[in-house]
């Protein structure tokens, strides 16, 4: 007597589960340019490493002898795997089974995936398509009742999503139409990616939105250009394979949980490397722009910069990099957008990024060129100052090691937020640096209005005052009073950064932060 019949039954059910929604639904998925959830998991994780949990959970039909007649797997899969040899938890929606809707969902599966990642302290990757197990109008008929959102009985596990934001790295990949709860799961992550032509994200899709009088297709409503520019999603790629690579690379900069620190990689770049072009990359005419990303690539380990949120809050560049092998959170101004001024969007981007660095014990490097907050009617309509003080609070509440370089401008309240106050932070100024309470441009006319208007030649008087003030504003005069600690040759930036990370490495303290990071 053996247990062979039961083993055979198990294998039969597992085989049926792997058929997903059947050949026609799989063909439809492929025809739409999308992989199936199982193909996605295989492409994301190390080959052969996925260990699925709950494979045979689903909906079964039995004949009159109680023998299995038909089996449809749940429209989600999850389990553990490895990425670059590191254990992770992966959860994915199966759109071939009822379009990922609630009718085919076993809610315990995504909830257990969240719990597993949290309690085993493992990075979590959500592969999302559809409503993520959210509601469907058909649910009323199939279940004979309407669901009341929220509460214990209808818990969506959002408390788990929120808790994971302050415990483990969370990556979300939107690889099809993502709506409702699926959209919430996509947004509740540290890093989110969508595919350009085959995905879209929205609170509710075009048929629902049409009832508001807005006739929009999926791309017009929630395509990649909409979501990346609004900050709803961090990045968009052409193919699903590129999304998998982006997820893997993002995770490489972070620890598995807040109870660890990210490992220092091999040193592959000379810490004393000097790039001669840095000496004259900043134009003497401060009205002219320059390429900040070229500076970033020159001072971090070659090829290590990983940018996040490029299309949102564009006056600020954010991303991870390695300096002498150590992962850092890098923030830099982009003078091509509002001259690097902090807009409301940029301030939101800064807050989220600094909170992430604080959550995962990552030192911060800031290459600053900020003329202040954006001014004008649009700035007031978007509550720039409100989001600005939130960003400043995030900076000043941070405890991770901090190093800033003033590349050119540092004016006003936002310009002054280039480092946390009240604690030691390493700070340098390039020879091109200029600073003050506000730029002279525009300020002279206000401060010296009476003198200028009384002059025989107002234009000559204005030029005379500006020349006098420019001489007094020399950064060397500031250095005389020790208000700026060090002025440097820009070509020494990489060497000084490498010295900073050597000092910062032992200060990275593992452990869960007292605050909980929000999406």
Instruction: Please write the tens of the pLDDT for every residue from 410-456.
Output: 999 999 999 999 999 999 999 999 988 766 566 676 777 887 778 88
| The domain boundary residue, chosen from 212, 234, 251 | 251
Q: Which helix (H) or strand (E) holds 203?
A: none
**Residue 452 and residue 418 share a domain:** no
| Interval 82-95 mean pLDDT | 96
The structure's pTM equals 0.92
**Residue 363 and residue 302 share a domain:** yes
**Residue 207 and residue 329 share a domain:** no
Token readout for 263 is 């490992």
**Residue 240 and residue 305 share a domain:** no
**Residue 394 and residue 305 share a domain:** yes
**Is 50 exceeded by the pLDDT of residue 470?**
yes
Predicted pLDDT at 148: 62
If one compares 364 and 150, the residue with the highest pLDDT of the two is: 364
The secondary structure of 286-311 as a DSSP string is: TTS---HHHHHHHHSSTT--EEE-TT
Among 422, 344, 338, 356, smallest CA distance to 388 is for 344
CATH of the domain at 114: 3.90.226.10
C-alpha span between 519 and 516 (Å, rounded):
10
C-alpha span between 177 and 389 (Å, rounded):
36
Q: Which helix (H) or strand (E) holds 242?
A: helix 240-251
**Residue 495 and residue 464 share a domain:** no
Token readout for 501 is 């990370």
Query: Please, how many CA atoms are within 13 Å of residue 41, restricted to the half-sphere of its CB?
Result: 24
Find residue 83's DSSP bridge partners: 86
**Residue 205 and residue 308 share a domain:** no
Q: Classify 233 in phi/psi space as left (phi over 0), alpha (psi -120 to 50) or beta.
A: beta
Domain containing 166: what range?
Answer: 4-251
Lowest mean pLDDT among 80-84, 380-384, 440-444: 440-444
Instruction: Please write the tens of the pLDDT for every residue from 163-191.
Output: 999 999 999 999 999 999 999 999 999 99
Predicted pLDDT at 153: 47
**Residue 402 and residue 336 share a domain:** yes
Domain assignment of residue 260, yes or no: no
Domain assignment of residue 263, yes or no: no
**Is 90 exceeded by the pLDDT of residue 227?**
yes
**Residue 82 and residue 227 share a domain:** yes
Predicted pLDDT at 139: 61
**Is 70 exceeded by the pLDDT of residue 138?**
no
For the chain, give the mean pLDDT: 91
| The domain boundary residue, chosen from 210, 235, 251 | 251
**Residue 319 and residue 178 share a domain:** no
**Is 70 exceeded by the pLDDT of residue 133?**
no
**Residue 221 and residue 317 share a domain:** no
């Amino acid at each position: 007597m053996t247990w062979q019949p039961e083993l055979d039954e198990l294998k039969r059910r597992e085989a049926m589960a792997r058929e997903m929604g059947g050949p026609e639904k799989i063909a439809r998925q492929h025809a739409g340019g999308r992989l199936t959830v199982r193909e996605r998991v295989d492409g994301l994780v190390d080959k052969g490493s996925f260990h699925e949990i709950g494979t045979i959970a689903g909906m079964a039909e039995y004949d009159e002898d109680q023998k299995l007649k038909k089996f449809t797997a749940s429209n989600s899969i999850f389990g553990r795997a490895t990425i670059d040899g590191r254990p992770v938890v992966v959860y994915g929606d199966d759109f071939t089974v009822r379009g990922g809707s609630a009718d085919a969902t076993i809610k315990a599966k995504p909830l257990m995936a969240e719990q597993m990642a949290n309690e085993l302290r493992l990075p979590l990757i959500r592969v999302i398509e559809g409503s993520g197990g959210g509601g469907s109008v058909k649910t009323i008929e199939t279940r004979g009742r309407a669901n009341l959102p929220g509460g214990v009985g209808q818990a969506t596990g959002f408390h788990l999503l929120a808790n994971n934001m302050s415990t483990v790295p969370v990556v979300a990949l939107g690889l099809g139409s993502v709506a409702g709860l699926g959209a919430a799961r996509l947004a509740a992550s540290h890093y989110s990616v969508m595919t350009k032509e085959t995905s879209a994200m929205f609170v509710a899709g075009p048929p629902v939105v049409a009832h508001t009088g807005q006739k929009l297709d999926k791309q017009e409503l929630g395509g990649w250009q909409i979501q990346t520019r609004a900050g709803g999603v961090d990045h968009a790629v052409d193919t699903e394979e590129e999304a998998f690579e982006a997820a893997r690379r993002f995770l490489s900069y972070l620890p598995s949980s807040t109870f660890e620190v990210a490992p220092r990689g091999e040193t592959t770049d000379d810490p004393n490397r000097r790039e001669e072009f840095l000496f004259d990359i900043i134009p003497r005419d401060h009205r002219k722009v320059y390429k900040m990303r070229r500076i970033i690539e020159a001072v971090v380990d070659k090829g290590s910069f990983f940018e996040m949120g490029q299309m949102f809050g564009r006056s600020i560049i954010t991303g991870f990099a390695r300096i002498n092998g150590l992962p850092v959170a890098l923030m830099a101004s982009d003078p091509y957008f509002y001259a690097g001024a902090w807009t409301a969007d940029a301030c939101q981007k800064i807050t989220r990024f600094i909170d992430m660095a604080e959550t995962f014990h990552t030192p911060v490097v800031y290459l600053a060129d900020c003329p202040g907050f954006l001014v004008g009617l649009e700035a007031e309509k978007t509550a720039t100052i409100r989001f600005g003080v939130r960003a400043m609070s995030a900076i000043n509440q941070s405890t991770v090691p901090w190093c800033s370089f003033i590349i050119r401008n540092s004016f006003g309240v936002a310009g002054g937020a280039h480092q946390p106050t009240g604690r030691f932070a390493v700070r340098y100024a390039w020879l091109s640096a200029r600073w003050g309470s506000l730029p002279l441009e525009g300020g002279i006319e206000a401060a010296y209005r009476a003198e200028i208007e009384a002059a025989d030649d107002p234009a000559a008087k204005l030029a005379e005052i500006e020349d006098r003030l420019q001489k007094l504003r020399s950064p060397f005069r500031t250095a005389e009073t020790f208000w700026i600690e060090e002025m440097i040759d820009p070509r020494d930036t990489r060497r000084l950064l490498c010295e900073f990370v050597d000092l910062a490495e032992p200060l990275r303290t593992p452990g869960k932060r007292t605050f909980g990071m929000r999406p």
